[in-house]
Each structure stands twice: as C-alpha cells, then as structure tokens.
Amino acid sequence: MKKLVLTWWLVLCAGLAWAQAPVPLLWKVSSGSNSMYLLGSFHLLKPTDYPLAPSVDAAFADVQQLYFEVSPQEMESADLADRMSRAALRNDGRSLQQALPPKTWAALRAYAAKTGMPLEPLQPFKPWFVALALTLAEFQKLGFSPALGLDQHLMQAAARSQKPTWGLETADAQIQLLDGLDTATQGDFLAETLIDLQDMPGQTDTLHRAWREGDANALERESLADLRARFPALYTRLIVDRNRAWLPQLQALLDGKKAGARALVVVGALHLVGSDGVVRMLADKGYRVERLR
C-alpha cells in the first residue's frame, strides 16, 4: 500500500540543504476574544529544517500554553519505552515467523538479507512493532531524527519559557491504538511497510517536501487519500476517531470563560488537513478559521 508507512509517522524526509524556513501548516481559530493556533508537525526532521518561519515563533510568543498529542511529561517518562515493548511482545506462544503469512515472512527475510539485519531478535514481537521499528531505522538512515521533530522542538521551547504543556491523549492510548489492531491488519501493515521501504527515499522526499512547502492538498493527496481508499477502517481508527476525540478539548479551550486565553496545539500534520481534519471540523462547528502564512 502506497505510503502507508509514512502516514503512521506523519500520523508521520531528503538530503537537501534548504535555503529558507519551512512554510508552516499554521491556522488561527477564534471564538469571541479567545483564540487558538493549530500547527501541523512532522515528527522526524533534520537540522536543515530549522529555524522555523517567523509566524511560528510569533504564535509561540502569543500563547500561554501548549498542547501536544501526548504531554511532554509522558513522553519523557522513564518507563515509556518499556511499556511499549511489553505491549509489543507476543503472548500467544507463537513466533513472528509463525504469525505471518509465508509471503510476508519471505519479504522480511529478503529485507533482512539486503540490510544485514538479524531476524532472531524480532521473533518475540508483534508485526505492528516490527513495522514501526523498521520504518524508524530507515528514517534515521536518511538523516531524520525524532529528537529534531517539530513536537520535540516546541516541547523544549515551552520548557525553557516555562509555559504549561498538556496532552490531548495519553501514551497508553497511542500504544493501544497500535496494539489493538487485529492480527490480519497487523500482518498487512508489515507487508506493505516492506513494500514501501523499497522506495523510502523517494516517498519520504515527496511528503517532506510537501510539509516544507506547507502544501496541505499534497499531503492529503499523497498520504491520506491512499490510506482512506485502501484501508478505510484503519484510516478511521488512526485519523478520524482521534480527531473527533480531540475536538471537545479544543472547543473547551475556545469556549472557555477566560477571555483572551490562547493555546498552541501541535499535532501531526495529517490530523489537520483534508475533509476529516481538525481544521475542517472546527470550521464546521462555526469557529472562525484562518490560515497563517
């Protein structure tokens, strides 16, 4: 499935040195005297993606608090990696090889032989975890780092400025989102991941460039449309359900009694764009929404 892996990491990147700051996927949403900024993140970036555009710096300076998908406090939790690893361990008495269709296992063996990756350490894990681990490794080979993602950058800026930070969902909810996928979907995810990895540089460059250019239509076309068409249930679980779950929290910020309260909300760019994006949902609720260039 074309670009499914990148959808996960944008919801989830090319070796060019960029001459100008990225055009931000930045919106201002208003309700009376209250306002809120929405900023689309790319979760893995390069040093050349900084500095950010002045409009992002201005939005950060204008707010009193920041919201992320998961709070910085949880992201920095010492046991977060252990919790994910425990969830990813198989508990059905089967190895990864036994759980996968023969064709998918053969593709994984071919990838391992090509990259020199040992397969034995992967045997105790579920397919969703293996797919994400392979994807992260390939991103890092291309020079991208989670530590440089826009979320991390702004979490650190908030800490330096002593601005309160919050999460729209918990880390455990994100883990369950992946671990709750049925066996067949997990196998499909890994199989398509292995296909996507064959052209990771090209696909990554396409989406990274779209993010840098602030091209919401290209992001929707190149990633969301394919996921929606090929795996509608997965699209609903990954994108639509989470957007809807966040909406009451965002409305509470906009409709709060504290006049002039402002927040910057930083989430994966794919949650903001398209017909099921948070931007459209808020506009449909009657809030004033404007794109900031």
The mean-pLDDT minimum among 70-84, 101-115, 181-195, 251-265 falls in 251-265
Which of 2-6, 128-132, 192-196, 227-231 has the lowest average pLDDT? 2-6
| pLDDT at residue number 258 | 56
| Per-residue pLDDT band at 2 (split at 50, 70, 90) | very low
Bridge partners of residue 27, in order along the sequence: 38, 291
Strands 65-68 and 262-268: parallel
Answer yes or no: are the C-beta atoms of 142 and 14 closer than 8 Å.
yes
Whether 233 shows a pLDDT value over 50: the answer reads yes
**pLDDT beyond 60 at 19:** no
Q: How far apart are the first and last CA of the chain?
A: 33
Q: How many CB atoms lie within 10 A of CB 114?
A: 10
Q: Is the pTM of this model over 0.85?
A: yes
Q: State the pLDDT at residue 293.
A: 80
Q: What is the mean pLDDT of residues 219-248?
A: 90
Question: What does the pLDDT read at residue 257?
Answer: 61
Q: State the pLDDT at residue 10.
A: 47
Lowest mean pLDDT among 156-165, 197-206, 210-219: 197-206
Q: How confident is the model at residue 116 (pLDDT cuts 50, 70, 90)?
A: very high
Say which residue, 70 or 256, is predicted with more confidence.
70
pLDDT for 68-90, tens place per residue?
A: 999 999 999 989 989 999 999 99
pLDDT band for 234, please (50, 70, 90 cuts): confident
Residue 137 in this model has a pLDDT that exceeds 90 = yes
Is residue 226 within 8 Å of 3, Cβ to Cβ? Answer: yes
Mean pLDDT estimate for the chain: 90
The rounded distance, in Å, linking the Cα atoms of 168 and 221 is 26
The answer, yes or no, to whether residue 182 has pLDDT greater than 50, is yes
The pLDDT score that the predictor gives to residue 231 is 78
pLDDT surpasses 50 at 100: yes
In this prediction, what percent of the chain has a pLDDT beyond 90?
74
DSSP class of residue 110 equals H
Nearest to 287 by CA among 32, 25, 60, 26: 32
